[in-house]
Amino acid sequence: MAIYYEPLSLILATLLLSSISLISLSEATKNGGVTIDLIHRESPLSPSYDASTTHFERLRSLFRRSISRYYALRSASFKSTSKSPDSFEATLTPIGGEYLIKINIGTPPVEILAIADTGSDLTWTQCVPCTQCYKQNAPLFDPTKTTSYRSVSCTSQQCQSLGVGSSSCDKSNRCLYQVSYGDNSYSNGDLAVETFTFDSSTSKESVAFPKVVFGCGHNNDGTFNETGSGIVGLGGGAVSIVKQLETAIGGKFSYCLTTLDSESSSKINFGPNAIVTGPNVSSTPIVQKSPDTFYYLTLEGVSVGNKASAYNYISNSNSGATVEEGNIIIDSGTTLTFLPSSLYEGLESTLEKSISGNRVSDPQGLFGLCYELPSNGEFNAPPIIAHFTGADVELTQESTFLEVEKGVVCLTFVTSQDLAIFGNLHQMNFLIGYDLKNQKVRFLPTDCSKTK
């Protein structure tokens, strides 16, 4: 018999929380919130790490995924802004993401490893019974073995929050979800609510969040990796984890991404731990645009040279034109940064005049500005500063120029057609805080390998 979710009484909610030996949400808030490890897919800490591959082979894999994700994000953005009011087709959502996160679902909690994705909203995992599932290493989630699982009815607000074209009803009035991705991957199944438990890597305590809306996928396939069991949606849409927990975590989350060669894991914080403060913090507004999944910022331009010297400033607008608000997405799942062609061309030209070295072609044909690495292994390039509205973010040379092949270093910005993305490579070694209550993103330069 189908079970439909209705708002639980305070007594039932209290019983649910007391049935598991976890600290409460209010206790977690007093203790500073929740901090969880983020595991890069190419890190030795990842279960998908292949020690037989070389460093440069792993980089090539990163770059290929970055290009694929760019086109998926572009497709999702274009689809959202161009569809008619009468359209019943769900907006394409990008697949991918470079970081894995461990969460626990159900009562008793069952651990799953999923992609942490700021470019997706709905959190889902593969469930039994499964009519079509991609291969995964961990057992499938079984909703019959948890006491806190509830299906969602078609008339509920949770079902309606999926939007037109992303939900349907079965004969028992259960809400069914459908999500499709830019690479033709998909997940279909039951929309439900469950208790999600986060194991904090700092306090060594577990925090339970009851009644979280998620997808229990019975029909899933595509380019998913067998090490992951689904997606944890960290986007800005109504059904994302951060939106659902917005009141509990004060609308705040942050992450600190370590460099690609670091032996330390990255961190993601929810609640008070995610507040980014200090004299070196810079802040820029989040711009509300469609689709609301993405976090849009305004990039006014870039400059070459450190803050102590005169800027070689390249504007992100045509001569005399006003910079478009919300002209770039900040995304943790895309490795490279994609710039509008006019901005990229100005940056490449300015850098070429500033760098002394032997320019060479990229063996992969992806990057536009590459140099031969000197025999001493030291390549010198001026700093690049990204000028967001109200925030000047000075990027490190370790992220802006990367040895992509033996003896070849390349600029890690690439040109885009009509969508700009600030990728995770240029977010590394910054504590980046998302304040959804005040609609701000904050940047604090730091050594993320030392972040606890």
The reply to whether 310 and 396 lie within a common domain is yes
Asked if the model's pLDDT at residue 202 lies above 50, the reply is: yes
Is residue 39 in a domain? yes
Give me the mean pLDDT over the 204-211 stretch. 87
For residues 389 and 350, state if they share a domain. yes
Amino acid 10: pLDDT: 26
Residue 64 confidence (pLDDT) above 90: no
Q: Whole-number mean pLDDT of the chain?
A: 84
The reply to whether 202 and 324 lie within a common domain is no
**Does residue 451 have a pLDDT over 90?**
no
46 within domain boundaries? yes
Whether 153 and 266 map to the same domain: the answer is yes
356 is a domain residue: yes
What is d(CA 373, CA 59) in angstroms, rounded to the nearest whole number?
17
Residues 125 and 207 in one domain: yes
- The residues near 388 (Cβ < 8 Å, ≥ 6 apart) are 282, 284, 297, 298, 299, 300
Q: What pLDDT score does 27 carry?
A: 59
Q: What is the C-alpha separation between 236 and 217, in angstroms, rounded?
A: 22
**pLDDT attached to residue 29:** 53
Alpha helix locations (H) across 167-235?
none
Number of domains in the chain: 2
Q: Is residue 241 situated within a structural domain?
A: yes
Greater confidence (241 vs 51) lies with: 241
Does residue 254 form part of some domain?
yes
User: Which of 83-87, 315-319, 381-385 is the least confident region?
Assistant: 83-87
**320 and 221, same domain (yes or no):** no
- Residue where a domain terminates, one of 272, 307, 326: 272
Contact indicator for 404, 364 with CB cutoff of 8 Å: yes
Are 436 and 247 in contact by the 8 Å Cβ rule? The answer is: no
Contact indicator for 183, 223 with CB cutoff of 8 Å: yes
Last residue of a domain, one of 222, 252, 272: 272
Within-domain flag for 84: no
Same domain, 264 and 282: no
**Residue 52 identity:** S
Higher pLDDT, 355 or 84: 355
The answer on pLDDT for 82 being more than 50 is no
| Alpha carbons 347 and 17: distance in angstroms, whole number | 54
More confident residue, 386 or 3: 386
Q: Among all residues, which ones are annotated catalytic?
A: 117, 331
Q: Residue 243: its pLDDT value, please?
A: 93
pLDDT score, position 308: 54
Final residue before a domain boundary, out of 272, 294, 318: 272
CA 35/CA 204 separation, integer angstroms: 9
Range among 25-29, 58-62, 148-152 with highest mean pLDDT value: 148-152
- CA-nearest of 304, 302, 332 to 317 is 302
Identify which of 285-289, 361-365, 397-401 has the greatest average pLDDT: 285-289
Confidence at residue 311, expressed as pLDDT on a 0 to 100 scale: 59
Q: Give the HSE-up count for residue 406: Cα atoms under 13 Å, Cβ half-sphere.
A: 2
Q: Is pLDDT at 1 greater than 60 in this prediction?
A: no
- Same-domain status, 259 and 296: no
Asked if 143 and 202 sit in the same domain, the reply is yes
Name the one residue in this structure whose structure tokens are 């961190």: 267
Per-residue pLDDT of 267-281, as tens digits, reads: 999 998 899 999 999
CA dihedral 28, 30, 32, 34 (to 10 degrees): 10
Domain that holds residue 142: 25-78+93-272
Mean pLDDT of 133-151: 95
Distance of alpha carbon 6 from alpha carbon 128, whole angstroms: 23
Distance in angstroms (rounded) separating the CA atoms of residues 367 and 2: 54
Model confidence at 349: pLDDT above 60: yes
HEC letters along 374-405: CCCCCCCCCCEEEEECCEEEEECHHHHEEEEE
Same structural domain, 290 and 369: yes
Residue 18 located in a structural domain: no
Q: What's 406's domain CATH number?
A: 2.40.70.10
* CA distance readout (Å), 285 to 227, 388, 439, 440: 36, 9, 6, 4
pLDDT at 309: 53
Say yes or no to pLDDT of 164 above 80: no
Query: Would 191 be classed as within a structural domain?
Result: yes
**What are the tens digits of pLDDT across the range 14-57?**
223 333 334 455 555 555 678 999 988 888 788 777 888 898 98
> Domain check: are 256 and 306 in the same one?
no
Q: With pLDDT > 70 as the criterion, what percentage of the chain qualifies?
A: 85
Calculate mean pLDDT across residues 404-430. Answer: 94
Q: Specify whether 100 is located in the same domain as 229.
A: yes
86-112 pLDDT per residue, tens: 322 333 344 556 889 999 999 999 999
| pLDDT the model gives residue 25 | 52
pLDDT at site 32: 62
